[in-house]
Amino acid sequence: METIGTSPPKPGLRERKKQQTRDTIARVALELFAERGYDETTLAEIGEAADVSPRTIFAYFDSKEEILFCEAPAQFDELKDALAQRPDGSTTIDALRGVLSSMTPPDELAKLRKQIITSSPALKLKMRARVAELEPVLVESFAKDLGTDPDDVRALLIAASATAAFSAVHDRLEAEADGKPISHESAMAIVDEVFEFLRGGLDRLKAQ
């Protein structure tokens, strides 16, 4: 019998300390990337600033790139779960919007991460490559919308369009309007315009 009203167990002291160490390394690294430049900052310098050894850094991260993009896996997992668990009658676009609309405004570290990425064309390309990793998941989900197989060219096309749209929106939202960050409401208005475009394309493909 399922127990109602229970919450998952809290992490123990060892797990909390490990998370604190990981968070400290990520925070210090972002501050150094912003101050000295991503390419100019070494793992040894990050370790010194975080008061840990390079060996400790490698216990949590494989590279500087993984430190910079450390939030991406959890975000992608959330999106994958939303697509896999979407109720009958809802579309891929419904699930995507639900995830984006539930996101909280970026904190100072998230803003710093965006600043670092947008200051480097190479890092922007790496970000787009990471977004592109979602394309196979989107293909499968859009194929479900269309009632077809994942290798159907229509599912491939709409997934590629969605990936390109997300990259474009991501770049746009990282910009600033009149020197001020774009508000969450303005960001969602842009996202909704993109989703309407994608929804129209999906409906037309369904009709074929």
Tens digit of each residue's pLDDT (9 = 90 or more) over 168-204: 666 655 555 444 556 667 777 777 887 888 888 777 7
Structural domain contains residue 136: yes
Residues 82 and 34 in one domain: no
* 91 Rama class: left (phi>0) / alpha (psi -120 to 50) / beta: beta
Structural domain contains residue 1: no
CA atoms within 13 A on the CB side of 206: 13
Structural domain contains residue 6: no
- What is the domain-level CATH number for residue 123? 1.10.357.10
Q: Collapse the DSSP code of 150 into the 3-class scheme (helix H, G, I; strand E, B; otherwise coil) and give the result.
A: coil
Contact 131, 160 (CB under 8 A): no
Question: Residue 28: pLDDT band by 50, 70, 90 thresholds?
Answer: very high
User: What whole-number percentage of the chain has pLDDT above 70?
Assistant: 86
DSSP assignment letter at 62: S
Structural domain contains residue 8: no
Structure tokens at 194: 């993109």
